[in-house]
Amino acid sequence: MPYTFSPSSLSLLKDCPRCFWLHFTKGIKRPDSIFPSLPSGMDRVLKEHFDRFMEKGELPPELAECNGECRLFNDKSLLAVWRSNFNGIRWKDERGNLFRGAVDNILVKGKKLVVLDYKTRGYPLKEDTPAHYQDQMDIYNLLLRKNGHETEDYAYLLFYHPNTVHGNGDVDFHSDLVKIPIDASNAERIFRKALEVLEKEIPQPAEECGFCRWARDAGGQS
Q: What are 139-173's pLDDT values in tens digits?
A: 999 999 999 999 999 999 999 999 999 999 999 99
pLDDT tens digits, 58-71: 999 999 999 889 99
From residue 197, alpha-carbon distances to 1, 63, 220 in Å are 14, 40, 26
Q: How confident is the model at residue 220 (pLDDT cuts 50, 70, 90)?
A: low
By residue range, what is the domain housing residue 27? 4-219
Do residues 155 and 182 touch, judged by C-beta distance below 8 A? Answer: yes
Q: Is the pLDDT of residue 101 over 90?
A: yes
Share of the chain above pLDDT 90, in %: 87
Q: Which residues contact 138 (CB under 8 A, 6 or more apart)?
A: 182, 183, 184, 186, 187, 190
Domain CATH for 114: 3.90.320
Q: Using one digit for the tens of pLDDT, what is the confidence trace for 181-207?
A: 999 999 999 999 999 999 999 999 999
Q: How far apart are CA 48 and CA 95, in angstroms?
A: 38
Residue 174, pLDDT > 60, answer: yes
Q: Which of 25-30's residues contact partners 24+ apart within 8 Å by CB, and which partners? A: 25/198, 25/202, 30/211
Q: How far apart are CA 214 and CA 113, in angstroms?
A: 44
Write down the pLDDT at residue 215. Answer: 87
> What's the total number of domains in the chain?
1
Q: Is the pLDDT of residue 222 over 50?
A: no
| Closest by Cα among 217, 216, 213, 220 to 16 | 213
Predicted confidence (pLDDT) at residue 131 exceeds the cutoff of 60: yes
Reported pTM: 0.93
Q: What's the whole-number average pLDDT of the chain?
A: 94
